[in-house]
Each structure stands twice: as C-alpha cells, then as structure tokens.
Structure 1
Amino acid sequence: MRVAQKKSSFDLHLFSTTVIQIGLTANSVYFQYFKMDGESGMFFVQQTIGSVLCCKCGVPMQPNAANMCVSCLRSKVDITEGLLKHVTVLFCDECKTYLQPPKTRIKAELESKELLTFCLKKLNLDKAKVTLVHAEFMFTEPHSKRLKVKLRIQKEVLHGAVLEQSYIVEYVVHYQMCDYCNRLQANPDQWAAAVQLRQHVSHRRTFFYLEQLILKHDAASQAIRIKQMDKGIDFFFSNRSHGVKFLEFVGKVTPIKSRTDKQLVSHDTKSNTYNYKHTFSVEICPICREDLVCLPPKIAVSLGNLGPLVICTKVTNSIMLMDPNTLRYCFLDADQYWRSPFYTLLSSRRLIEYIVLDIDNVSAEVSVAGSRYALADAQVARVSDFGKNDTIFNIRTHLGHLLSPGDHALGYDLYGANPNDSELDKYRGLVLPEAILIKKSYEEKRLRKRGKPRAWKLKNLNMEVDDTTARGRVNQDQVDNEYEEFLKDLEENPELRFNVSLYRNKEYQPSETASMTDGDELPSVPLDELLADLEICDDDVEATDSNMRE
C-alpha cells in the first residue's frame, strides 16, 4: 500500500488527528483528517491490486472466483449452449403480419421495437436463466427473407463468476397467408358480416365526415371490402365480431338506429354447426349540421318550450339544437330522437347568399356549448336582388361576433320559401322570420384562389362504386361539388376539423403575390395542424446511403 499526500506536507499523529474514510473507488480510498488545532484536509491511499496466474494457461490476471482468465473461461464454458440460434417465423405478405402462436397476428415494420420484441419472445431466454444485456438488429437485404438480431447476454458460471458473451440469432421468414387473407383470395365475396350505413338525405356530406373519422381511428381495418352505394356505404367483414365492433364505433360518433338479420349459409348435421351471414342495417339520423328544423309541439314543450324554429349546430352521438333568437340550446341523444323522430324544414342545399347592410349587437359574445355566439339585429338583403329590387330584411341573428357591414352570409330565405311542413301548421299564430342566417360566407374572397391547390389534403377509403349509382357525369359533378363544400367547412370551422387528420400537400407551392392578395380574413388551416405524410422513395434511400459513406 502506497500513500500519496497533497503538496502541503503534514504529520499524522495517532492521538492528535482524527481520520474519516469518505470515498472509495476501484483503485483508491479517500480519507479526511481533522487535527486538534483546527486544521483539516484530505488525502487518498492508492491501492495496488495484485495479480495471480491462470490455473489453465498461467497468464497473469486479476483474481476472480474461477481463477481462470477470460479466454480459458470461455473455452471451458459456453453460456449460449442450448439457446436458439436459428428460428423460423411465419409472415403474411398480404396483410403484413407475423404469426404469434397459436393464432395471434402482429403487425410490425422492419427493425422496429415491436418486431424486436416479437423476435425476443421466440427465444425464451427466461427459461435458460440468462440475463439479456443488449439486443439490436443487424443489416440484412430486404429481399433476403432473413432477420438477424445480435444479443449480448450474461450468466453466472463457475463459483459465482459472471460471464458476458455476444452471439447472433438468425430468423428465417417463411411466407404463409393467414386465414383471413386466404379466404379473401379464394372468394372476395365470402363475407360473414355486412354493415349497411344509410342516410336518407339529398347530399353525402355526412359520409365525407364519417369517412375521415373512420380513417383517423382505423375503424375499418378489418373490412375485406367497402362499397359505395346510392344512399350510403356498405362494409363487409369476415367475422361477425368485427362487424359488431365497427357498429359500436359508428354508434359513438353519429346518432343511429340498427337492425340485425341473419341468413343460414350451411349446416353440418354431424357436428351440429351452423354458418350464418349477418347483416346490420344502420340508419343515420337525417338531421345534419346547419339544417333548419321545426320542432313538433310535444318535443318543444318537453325541451322547455325551445324554438320552435331551431338550427342544428353540431352532430356527434347526439344532436345539438339551438334557437338563433335566444341562444337557448339542447342535446338529443339517439334514443330520444328515434323515440319521436322529426325531420328538417330546410336543408343546407337551400342556403342562399345575403349581404349585411347594417348590424347592431344586442348582447356580448358568450360561449354556447364550447362555441362562440353573440346576438345582433341586422339589416340584410339577398345578393340576387341587387339591381332588381330594394328588398331589405330586418332580422335577428346569432352571428353578431362574426358579421360586419359589407360581409356576406349564407342563410335560409323564409320570405320567398314555401315550406310544406305539417309541424308548422300545428303552431297557430307563429310568425316566421324573413331570413335566418347560418354562417359567414367567403365565396367572394375565394374567387381569387379558384383553381389553386390547397396546402393540405385528405385521405380516402378504398371504396368500390356500385354500378347502379354511376349514372353519368351529372351525379359525379354533384358529388365533387359536395366534397368541395365539405373542404370549405373544414377550413372555416376549427371544431369540425378537430377529429379529422389533415396532411400536407406536396403539390402546393406558396407564392408571395398570392399571400399578399388573399388577405388574413380568408379562413385557412394552420400549418401546425397538418400531419406529414411520410413516404420513403428510392431516391431518399440512395441519398441516405451516400451520406453514410461520406
């Protein structure tokens, strides 16, 4: 043992100095001393570890429990003995899933954490009584059908000595179609459950929004086929449980009522087994957002004399109805609606454009179920009347926080409309307003950007179009116009796009002149709400390889 002191020399006396050990490292021990005269300091003692000879080869080494060097210990003991070095995994190339016996399918990308966990579970290292220290993938060609994982493990060997060793496990990937894809390839129409979504309205805006909800939550991942019908969409599944799960999802996002039917396909008398085809007929509530509704007298009384003219402002698993004259509102769930259903007085296809001549706020801006509204008295005129007459309407609106003199708004023309609704006849002495405004219009400002691509885009389901619905170019033009209206609603309403995944459009190229002429008043989607659509091409891979070589 050798003692190393500081530069200032001192004497240690047995009775005049107190020494305390304060630290310990691999090669030294730290002490602190205190003298009677108040002086204190630190010093350390450097230890010299002795060496012994290996009992096998005689090489000097540091002593251990086995008294053998690492080379001799590895030649005598192999801790990887009995562990799997070659493993076979089954992979379905159609649905990109791996088989976890007995019947579980796991979907994982190459060199991902999920795939690494799946590979390690195949080894059963816990039963071999070894400790896993590190695991990582080794590079293999994507077409080689091989996966290589490098492992570093530890295990206690002779007389308590711990040995660490690395080895490589090779996984051979065999292609084998799963039962789901096998049945699909054999017969695409071999479905066991079908969910038929229908809504009896004159537009498809509800299905556009429902399609985005299904894509975001991946609710139709188990569907073997999706078919677009005249008044809705059909989803086909290979298992009844998948259809039931999808039906539960639709019931959580829209007010629906459903009916279940089944048809016998085959029957085995020996094993007494039956095969059925199940059909779930689903009807979506015909009340859509921005629709004008005349409540039946009984329902209006049960809702606290609400309305009777109300507008639908939001549709989730319940319907939100609001009186535009008083800002009173209520929620109707699916059971309440289908117990005593009612229908729209005017739908969003009957909206016309007005211009605001003057507006006077009646109340301050308030929050109604999370949305901002303000009552105001406004003077409006139809845009179509300019140059023909000077008809002006004095109305009350709930859009006082948005509208200013000179703005355009979309609303329902009750002055020139002839609504044929039996519920209106039940209200004696009811005075209809001349117009009801629904939302602010930006059509005049959008004329400058007509034909220019948006900075964002949406994904769509892979649907087949029924032949009976493809009746020429007219229907397709109508669907395109309705889809364009849906995109405009997403830009104008942040609450509507809250549950929708928007992706960046690579074809969009912003220009300085366009940004200067468009103005800040035109609604748009902020860039922080967009998701990057990740696509890896061959050029990106080659560029990455060249950077790695440099």
Structure 2
Amino acid sequence: MCADCVRNEVDITEGIPKQATIHFCRNCERYLQPPAHWVVCTLESRELLALCLKKLRGLNKVRLVDAGFLWTEPHSRRIKVKLTIQKEVFASTILQQQFEVEYVVSGMQCEDCAKVMASNTWKAMVQVRQKVPHKRTFLYLEQLILKHGAHKDTINIKEAKDGLDFFYSQRSHAIRMCEFLAAVVPLKTKASEQLISSDIHNNTTNYKFTYSVELVPICKDDLICLPHKLANSLGNINPLVLCTKVSNSLQMMDPNTLQTAEISCTAYYRTPFTSLTTVTSLIEYYVLDVELCGPRRGKYALADVQVARISDFGKNDTTFFARSHLGNILNPGDHAMGFDLGRANFNNEAFDALNRNALPDVILVKKSYPVRRARNRGRAWRLKHLAKEVEDGMAPRKQEQERVEQDLEMFLRDLEEDPELRSTVNLYKSDAKPKKDAVMGEAEDMDEDDFPEVRLEELLDDLRIDDGPDANADADAEVTEQA
C-alpha cells in the first residue's frame, strides 16, 4: 500500500485521548500534579507542557516527535497542545501523524489554601507578648523575622494587644519559631494544649497547641536598678545601670565607670526586675562643656559633662554636672537625651535602698540630633513589614495610631544613629526623594555633616524574580511595604 492508503487504514493516535482535564487552584495559582503535588506553572511554559503530556495515556506506546502550544484566550480556561507522533505500523514502515489535544482547566482548591480559608484549621499558635509602653522591640524583632525568613511557614499573623499571634498548620513549625525567638531575644515560653476531638476506635486524638512567649520587659536605653544580690554576682557592679543592648542576653553598663555586665535569660528569670524608666521619659539637654576624665572602652569614653535643660533656656541658669560614657561622642554645643533623676519619683525597692545623696542628677543616654527632627525630611530608604491582621474588636483609635507612628519614627532614628543595630536588618532603597525644608531657629547654626546618615552601599535593591502571576501574588502575600 502507498503512504496515503496506509494513513487511511491505520490510526496511530488511537488510544490517546483528545480531551483531558487539569486542575488549577485560583488562590495560589498552582496546578495539580497527580496524585497530590501542586506545582507553579506559567502559561505556555515548559513546566506546563510537561504537566499536560503526563496527563495523556498511551503516549508511551508511540514516539513523541514534537509538542507545542496553540494560542488560546487566557481567560477561556482552555489549553490546546499540538502533538506530532511516530509509530511503526508494518515491517520497516513508520507512520507520522499530527493531532491536537484540548485541556479543560478546572478550578480546585489545594489543601494549603483550604486550611487558610477554612476556620479552626490552625494546628499551633505562638503568642508573642511584651509588656512595655512602646513597640521598639517588636519593630526590631519584625525586621529580624523578615531577614531570616522565620515567617515562611505561618498561615496567618494577627496583631493583638502587647504583641503578635503567629498561626501554623503544623506543631513543628511553631516549635521552630519559638527556637528562633529564643536565639535573638531573652524570653520564657509556656506551652498548653486543647483537645479538639478524639476517636476511641482508632485511638487517635486531635489537639491544638498554644505557645505563650513573653519577652523580658527590658529594652535598649532603659534605666535599670539591679537587685543588690544580682549586682554583687555581676562583679559588684553599681546597681544603677543602662541597658546598652538586647540580644539573647541583656548587656548592662555603668555610665559612671564604664563597667559592663551580661545577664543571661536564665539569670534574669532567677532574679527578675523591671526598668526604672524607659526612653519615653528622656529629656533633652544642651551640652555646655565636655572634659575627658577616665579610660576608654570601645566607642565609649568617660567624661564629665556640664549640661542644661533645653526647657530652662530663658527661664533660669540651672546647670548640671554628669559623669557620662559619651565622652567620645559629645562636644560642646551638642544636644543629648538623658534621665532627670533630680525630679524623678520611682516606686522601686532596689532604688529606695540606694544612697540618694550619692546619685547623680542627670544620666545621659545618647546624643540627640534636633536638626533631623526640624527638617522632617523624607528618607532615601525604607523597611519591609509583615502582613498583619488586626484582632477582632481591636480597631486602632486615633491616639493609638499616633503612638504607633511615634514608635516607628523612634525606631527609624535608632537605625540611623546606630550602625551596629543597622547591620542586623535589611534596608531597601526608596523611590521617595528627600525633602529640602528650611531649618528654623538655632538648628540653622549647626553643622549638618555631623548627622547620622545611611550610606547608599548599605541599601538593598528590592528586586523580585517575576516568573509569572504567581510570583507577584506570593510576594504581596508575604510582606507589605512602607516608605
């Protein structure tokens, strides 16, 4: 027989279906690869073509020569593939034939999306709390979570009073989150479980696990009066100290002697204490004179500093002498933030046991940059934030919103002024251009070169590898951006 007669007599496409169905999840935009694996494929990609060919039965009995997509309307939920196959029909006779296969894209919800959409599907929850009057620690903790990708297994994040709630579909993911938090901040964890259902015939139970994580109520730049026994165990350090750093332990320093001490998480909860006052009580001072009078340790140097309250200018000539660790940082004419112990009233047993006559009137904490506040100019960098939901019945009020904005501004200034703190988080380039506003008052006479600035080489480009619509969806679901 000639080739045309052989083609009329024999159909090598017999047994290969001309129509098939593939399942697609609209929420995460993934395709089902049987039996239970979901993969990300863009339209007319090699991955989608391989998935379509695996759906056809009978292709293993013929030789596949070529396969390609035929154009279809993207919203038609139809995918057409043109195939070219060969098969030996008689001895030394090979027949080649082309045909089309139409795939119907059927909607189906994957298991991961079903758990997120349905109620009461979380398996474990991590409740992170810290009872302090500001959110600086949580803002820093949020940046650490984003940098290390510790939130990748969460199915939901809710903002609650004094903290955050992380929800997980597996208990192991919640335990991993608790281990990460314990590695970056001092805390204590308490676990509890709730019985949801049980099957006495199969001897199986269903539990929900809750991990309560409480961070120590101590933050950077807090003024602390250590208990007498704890101060003696730390090298007989002066009980009145400043908290200079919070990591997996607490770093303390005596501003009068530059003596430092490290308090581990175990030691803290063996002898717990609270802060005398926080950064919300700082008062701005004007530096009149600085005289170095002691040793240097790292970036700190001991000095006698003469200061006056900014609020006293034009009213009185009251000045104060303070022994400070900022000898290398402060110069006459600068502004500094400090605690006014002369007018303070603390309800603390350890502080009441101290000799009040030997206490200084002022404890300086850090240098202040009033021109930065006067300019109120935009920043050339920004941070990313977690996509959080507000807890039911916790609608933010105007005063609460203003307090959150103040805490965020304070945290951003800390990043500008502390290069060591800035190196632990990711900063991204911003499209906003800095404003060049006029500076009012005495700020015009100050040297702007002394301002802390974030260098361009410290910023990251917020690049996204766009492999299709799924990439943008995943990126938007992970974080929300704020300039």
User: Which band: TM-score by shorter chain?
Assistant: 0.7 to 0.9
Distance 1:513 1:389 in 2: 32
1:533 to 443, 462, 465: 462
Give the Cα–Cα distance (whole angstroms) in 1 for the partners of residues 324 and 73 of structure 2.
66
CA contact (8 A) 1:297 1:426 kept: no
Looking at structure 2, the residues matched to 112 and 499 of structure 1 have their Cα atoms a distance apart, in angstroms, of 39
Mark the CA change 1:93 to 1:418 in structure 2 (over 3 Å): closer, same or farther.
Answer: same
State the 1:177 CA deviation. 3.5
In structure 2, the CA distance between the partners of 1:271 and 1:321, relative to structure 1 (3 Å rule), is same
Q: Larger C-alpha radius of gyration, 1 or 2?
A: 1
Amino acid of the structure 1 residue aligned with 2:326? L
Alpha-carbon distance in structure 2 between the residues aligned to 1:104 and 1:339 = 49
Structure 2: distance between partners of 1:294 and 1:140: 73
1:250 and 2:181 matched: yes
Distance in 2, matches of 1:108 and 1:216, equals 27
Contact 2:322 2:362 in 1 (8 A): yes
Equivalent in the alignment of 1:273: 204
Q: Deviations for 1:422-445, whole angstroms, at most 9, x for unmatched residues?
A: 012334577211111111000244
2-structure distance, mates of 1:142, 1:347: 58
Structure 1 match to 2:255: 324
Aligned residues of 1:503 and 1:531 also touching (Cα < 8 A): yes
Q: Aligned with 1:283: secondary structure?
A: strand
1:50 is matched with which residue?
none
Tell me the distance in 2 between the aligned counterparts of 1:415 and 1:112.
Answer: 72
State yes or no: 1:94 paired with 2:27: yes
**Residue number among 426, 430, 433 corresponding to 1:509 in the alignment:** 433
1:167-186 map, 5 Å: 176-186=108-118
- Aligned mates of 2:139, 2:268 — CA distance in 1: 23
Q: Deviations over 1:2-53 (max 9, x none)?
A: xxxxxxxxxxxxxxxxxxxxxxxxxxxxxxxxxxxxxxxxxxxxxxxxxxxx
Give the equivalent residue in structure 1 for 2:411. 486
Distance 1:254 1:88, change over 3 A: farther
- Which digits, 9 at most, give the CA deviation of each residue in 1:336-394, with x for residues without a partner? 21121111111111111011000011246432xxxx11111110111111122211111
User: 1:487 offset after TM fit, Å?
Assistant: 1.0
- C-alpha change, 1:209 and 1:284, in structure 2 (3 Å) is same
Residue 408 (str. 1) matches residue 332 (str. 2): no
1:90 Cα deviation from its structure 2 partner:
6.9
**C-alpha displacement at 1:296, in angstroms?**
0.3
Does structure 1 conserve the Cα–Cα contact (< 8 Å) formed by 2:379 and 2:433? no
- The residue aligned with 2:367 is 440
How far, CA to CA, are the matches of 1:528 and 1:192 in structure 2?
42
Distance 2:184 2:164 in 1: 16
Q: CA separation in 2, counterparts of 1:311 and 1:108? A: 55
User: Is this contact kept in 2: 1:264–1:277, CA < 8 A?
Assistant: yes
What is the identity, as a one-letter code, of the residue corresponding to 1:183?
K
Match runs of 1:319-468 below 5 Å: 319-363=250-294, 365-367=296-298, 372-428=299-355, 431-448=358-375, 450=376, 452-468=377-393
Quote the Cα distance in structure 2 between the aligned partners of 1:484 and 1:270. Answer: 58
The answer (yes or no) to whether the contact 1:145–1:173 under 8 Å persists in 2 is: yes
Separation in structure 1 between the aligned mates of residue 460 and residue 320 of structure 2, nearest angstrom: 44
The answer (yes or no) to whether the contact 1:96–1:107 under 8 Å persists in 2 is yes
Task: Pick closer, same or farther for the CA change 1:409–1:262 going to 2, 3 Å.
Answer: same
**Which digits, 9 at most, give the CA deviation of each residue in 1:488-522, with x for residues without a partner?**
1111111112222111211x22578989x883222
**Distance apart, 1:285 and its partner CA:** 0.5
Work out whether 1:523 is the aligned partner of 2:452: yes
Alpha-carbon separation, structure 1, partners of 2:175 and 2:75: 38
Paired letter, 1:441: S
The alignment covers a number of residue pairs equal to 420
Partner residue in 2 for 1:154: none
Match of 1:283?
A: 214
SS at match of 1:321: strand
Mapping for residues 75-94 of structure 1, pairs under 5 Å: 92-94=25-27
**1:464, CA displacement in angstroms?**
1.5
- Contact 1:93 / 1:175 at 8 angstroms: preserved in 2? yes
- State the secondary structure of the residue aligned to 1:375: strand
In the alignment, is the contact (CA less than 8 A) between 2:378 and 2:434 conserved in 1?
no
Instruction: For residue 520 of structure 1, give the secondary structure of its aligned residue in structure 2.
Output: helix
Q: Using the TM superposition, name which of 320-329 and 349-358 deviates more.
A: 320-329
> CA separation of 1:172/1:495 partners in 2, compared to 1, >3 Å: closer, same or farther?
farther
The one-letter code of the counterpart of 2:391 is D
The SS at the match of 1:459 is strand
Q: Deviations over 1:305-357 (max 9, x none)?
A: 11211111111111111111111112222112112111111111111101100
Contact 2:258 2:297 in 1 (8 A): no
Equivalent in the alignment of 2:63: none
Tell me the TM-score normalised to structure 2 length.
0.75
Counterparts of 1:240 and 1:357, CA distance in 2: 58
User: Which of 411, 417, 420 is the matching residue for 1:495?
Assistant: 420
Give the aligned residue type for 2:255: P
Structure 1 residue runs without a partner (length 5+): 1-86, 129-136, 149-169, 539-550
**In 2, Cα distance between the equivalents of 1:347 and 1:108?**
52
Q: Structure 2: state its 5+ residue gaps.
A: 1-19, 61-68, 81-101, 470-483
Distance 1:274 1:513, change over 3 A: closer
Change (3 A) 1:273 1:427: same
* Structure 1 residues 198 and 145: alpha-carbon distance in aligned structure 2, compared to 1, 3 A threshold: same
Change (3 A) 1:108 1:311: farther
Contact 2:289 2:331 in 1 (8 A): yes
Which residue does the alignment assign to 2:15?
Answer: none
* Distance change >3 Å, CA 88–CA 300, structure 1 → 2: farther
1:110/1:374 CA distance change after superposition, 3 Å: farther
Whether the aligned pair in 2 keeps the contact of 1:395 and 1:435 (CA below 8 Å) is yes
Q: 1:99 to 1:471 in 2, by over 3 A?
A: closer
Q: Structure 2 CA distance, aligned partners of 1:523 and 1:140?
A: 57
- For residues 89 and 361 of structure 1, do their structure 2 counterparts lie closer, same or farther at Cα, with a shift above 3 Å needed? farther
- Distance (whole Å) between structure 2 residues aligned to residue 325 and residue 509 of structure 1: 42
Contact 2:144 2:425 in 1 (8 A): yes
Distance 1:512 1:244 in 2: 48
1:406 counterpart SS class: coil
* Structure 1 pair 429–357 and aligned structure 2 pair: CA distance change class (3 A): closer
Supply the distance in 1 between the matched residues of 2:213 and 2:152 (Cα, whole angstroms).
19
